[in-house]
Amino acid sequence: MSEEQDRLVHTLLEQDLGGETPPDLTARILRRTCDTPRRRHWLAVAAAATALIVLVGAGWLIFAGKSYPDPFAQGDYQVQDGGAVRRGATVIAGAGGAQLALGDYCRLELAGQTRLRVEGDPKAERVFLESGSVLCEVDRNVGTFAVRTDVGSVSVTGTKFTVRILDGRADGNRTSRQMVVKVLAGAVLLSGAWGNMPLAAGDEKTVGDAQGRTVTPSTPEKEAPKAEKPRPEAPRPEVTTGTIVKVEGTVVRVQPTDSHAREVGLETDAKTAVTVDGVEARAANLTPGMKVTITWGAGMNAKVAATTR
Amino acid sequence: MGLRRSQAGGVRRLNRDELICLVHQHQVEVYRYLRYLGAAPEVAEDLAQETFLAAWERSRRGPAEPIARPAAWLRGVSRNLFLAHCRRQKASPVRVDSESLERAEMGWLHELDGTGGIEDYLGALRSCVRELPDRQRQIIELQYVQKRSRAQIAAEHGLTEDGVKTLLRRVRAGLAQCVQRRLRTGGITSR
């Protein structure tokens, strides 16, 4: 008997004879989808109830003398130009990292040496990540939250995610940068010059060079730079996105999304990390027509994330 | 109410009713699958929810990306979520990596391929437990119903702890064979 077969029988006996019943998750899942009920009657009831709650809540806040909380930081940090943490201020985390609370519903963990500017408005919190890495945990259904970077922005429709800025090659006064977004729970919407991209729990996405553009560190008001055509002798990007055009044995040939870029060949082996539609797979599962994102490592080491759409 | 299907036969955009249908159809399997992978009950409950929320989010991304095989897709998502969960736990009691989870998936498919699913498997297992010889059934009840330790079972039955371990494994192997026989011949009765 295989270990897996033994484990299956053991687990089922443990659950069934031990009185463990799989829970009905329907109600909990529906609550978290924030879906709109279809019946107008219930919409009206919900709207009326919400309005009542808002009125009562607002009245209570006025009488209680409480107001929307100011941004609050603790840990190892300093504020550029001094003073307290406030909207418009840039917070620079020291080596020990820092924590930032926004509006009582957004909690941010700044890794050491992270630079982040506090933007946004009450119930529409927003930060601009200049460099470093931040872990964000956002309560649902309170207000909106977004992390902007000069590579793109991440809007929250879920609860927990990290954003990291990677500084790459310098080229004159321009710097190649990438934004790495990893969703730990819930979902986020990634936006940039390339369009919108929803990410769900477990997803990790690197954007920047992969979109065929080089960006300069910008001021918050500055528009995102326009896309550039790659130069003829450009070094290989750290990430390539495109479509598989051919699979020849262990070699997968990819036409990058950027029509100016030449076809790319990837030699796969047993160690090549491959996912198809978010599920771990083997290089042999890659077929022409799949959209792929290749994250290049040292030598020919690469991670390949493919989708069948 | 059925799921909306694309031309390729996969699940596309879900509305609320279809999500309920998807949850009802697969939640028990997803939960039991996560437990089989090694998740504790409360972890399996959380990750099963996240799995269906991932399906919901995905279905709302746009017209493309049909989920061709929902059960396999949900297992894949739950597997990845469990792996991520274990990596976040500094002192996880379960040692998992992508290879061991891949093996677990293969084992699951091997056991359940061609059957009516996990609930049929469980139904057959219940019948097989009832048919065990008295001594083997007692051992199983002491272990799984009364949750006695191996030392206690060993003392009651005049065995060593290793002997109990070996006996339990042998009984489970017999049960697995019995289940396969029942499923292949269609002789399933539930409790």
Band (B3; pLDDT cuts 50, 70, 90): very low
Within 10 angstroms of residue A209's Cβ, the number of other Cβ atoms is 25
Identify whether the C-beta of residue A181 lies closer than 8 Å to the C-beta of residue A201: no
- Asked if B16 and A280 come within 8 Å (Cβ–Cβ), the reply is no
> What is the C-alpha to C-alpha distance for residues B178 and A9, in angstroms, rounded to an integer?
11
- Report which DSSP code applies to B61: S
**How do residues A242-276 score in pLDDT, each as one tens digit?**
888 888 777 788 888 776 667 777 777 777 788 88
**Collapsing DSSP states into helix, strand and coil, what is residue A158?**
coil
Identify whether the C-beta of residue B16 lies closer than 8 Å to the C-beta of residue B32: no
**How do residues B98-110 score in pLDDT, each as one tens digit?**
888 888 999 898 8
Instruction: Tell me, yes or no, if A7 comes closer than 8 A to chain B by beta carbon.
Output: yes
Type of residue at A87: R
Instruction: Tell me, yes or no, if A221 comes closer than 8 A to chain B by beta carbon.
Output: no
- Asked if B110 and A18 come within 8 Å (Cβ–Cβ), the reply is no
> What is the C-alpha to C-alpha distance for residues B166 and B98, in angstroms, rounded to an integer?
28
Average pLDDT score over residue span A37-63: 63
- Report which DSSP code applies to B132: S
B49 vs A11, A28, A157: nearest CB: A28
Is residue A98's pLDDT more than 90?
no
Identify the residue with better confidence: A231 or B40. B40
> What is the C-alpha to C-alpha distance for residues B167 and B176, in angstroms, rounded to an integer?
14
- Asked if B172 and A187 come within 8 Å (Cβ–Cβ), the reply is no
**How do residues A20-37 score in pLDDT, each as one tens digit?**
888 888 888 888 875 444
Evaluate whether ipTM surpasses 0.90.
Answer: no
Distance from the Cα of A289 to chain B's closest Cα (Å) equals: 13
Identify the residue with better confidence: A283 or B127. B127
H-helix or E-strand spanning residue A189? strand A187-192
Distance from the Cα of B65 to chain A's closest Cα (Å) equals: 5
- Asked if B23 and A7 come within 8 Å (Cβ–Cβ), the reply is no
Average pLDDT score over residue span A83-92: 89
For chain A positions 158-197, those within 8 Å of chain B (CB to CB) are: 184-187
Is residue A13's pLDDT more than 90?
yes
Average pLDDT score over residue span A196-203: 77
Which phi and psi angles does A183 have, rounded to 5°? -100, 120
Identify whether the C-beta of residue B3 lies closer than 8 Å to the C-beta of residue B14: yes
> What is the C-alpha to C-alpha distance for residues B152 and B142, in angstroms, rounded to an integer?
9
Tokens of B147: 């949750």
Band (A112; pLDDT cuts 50, 70, 90): confident
A18 vs B56, B107, B147: nearest CB: B147
Least confident among A115-119, A260-264, A268-272, A282-286: A260-264
Identify whether the C-beta of residue A177 lies closer than 8 Å to the C-beta of residue A188: no
Q: What crossing angle do the helices spanning B41-59 and B70-88 adopt, rounded to 10°?
A: 130
**How do residues B49-107 score in pLDDT, each as one tens digit?**
999 998 888 877 654 566 778 888 899 999 999 998 888 876 666 677 888 888 899 98
